[in-house]
Amino acid sequence: MLAKRIIPCLDVKNGRTVKGINFLGLKDVGDPVELGAAYAAQGADELVYLDISATVEGRGTFVSLVEKIASRVNIPFTVGGGISSLDDAARLLDSGADKISVNSAAVRNPDLIDRIAGRYGSQFIVLAIDARNQGNQWIITTHGGSRMTDRELFSWAREGQERGAGEILLTSMDHDGTRSGYPCDLFAQLSEQLSVPLIASGGAGSAQDIARVLTEGKADAALAASIFHYGQMTVGELKEALAASGVCVRM
């Protein structure tokens, strides 16, 4: 059985790690390099850094930050946020990132997935999807969940996979930052339709929540932020709890 991955997520704005609920009410929670190094030391399998800076200056800060992260962190890390071209992806990969994730720009221009996968290979690209429940459908959103689109989750995830995305990172924007648990039925349904790994994001509030999404939700990895940033538990403590509940993780 393949071990399930635990992936701390760090939202970065103008060089600092921040956290809020549904990307609102952001609070500074620390230095992204130091936090990343700490999570790696605690046993994190990978890290994800998402640049949520709105300014050109913030984007420039992120590129230099990636170089610092690469020099300090000894586990794979993915970077995303604002990547809208092959040049953007190249700049971040050349700065030391192991993978890049695309989101809003790929919704606007799906060929971006093909181009990055064609240049670097599917193992270097993660398709991040932010979705909201609208009636009986899960609908894709962009711009941090603030803009609805006309795309439906399952068809877009399958298209992203077909275009070359090596992993799908799904965030339920209805659950993000709430620490109320993941929508496990949604993740299980999507996992059954994909042949690439599925990373679950949005709603982790306890070890039990994460255990459920990795078992009932059939996710290959779980992304979490609040429970780590606010000291609710360390990555090591989480893995011990998961192992005790029968989830296969790397210790």
- Answer for the pair 19, 36: CB distance below 8 angstroms, yes or no: no
The residue length of the chain stands at: 251
* Cα distances (angstroms) measured from residue 11 to each of 119, 208, 226: 27, 24, 11
Residue corresponding to tokens 């709430």:
178
- For residue 4, the 8-state DSSP code is B
Find the catalytic residue in 51, 88, 130, 174: 130
Find the catalytic residue in 11, 51, 174, 176: 11
- Answer for the pair 51, 58: CB distance below 8 angstroms, yes or no: yes
130 is catalytic: yes
Task: Return the beta strands (E) in the chain as ranges.
Answer: 5-13, 16-21, 24-30, 47-51, 77-80, 99-102, 125-134, 137-142, 147-152, 167-172, 198-201, 221-224
185 is catalytic: no
H/E element, 66:
helix 56-72
The two most distant CA atoms of the chain are separated, in Å, by 46
Strand pairing report for 24-30 and 77-80: unpaired
Cβ neighbours of residue 7 under 8 Å, at least 6 residues apart? 44, 45, 46, 47, 48, 199, 221, 222, 223, 224
| Catalytic residue list | 11, 130
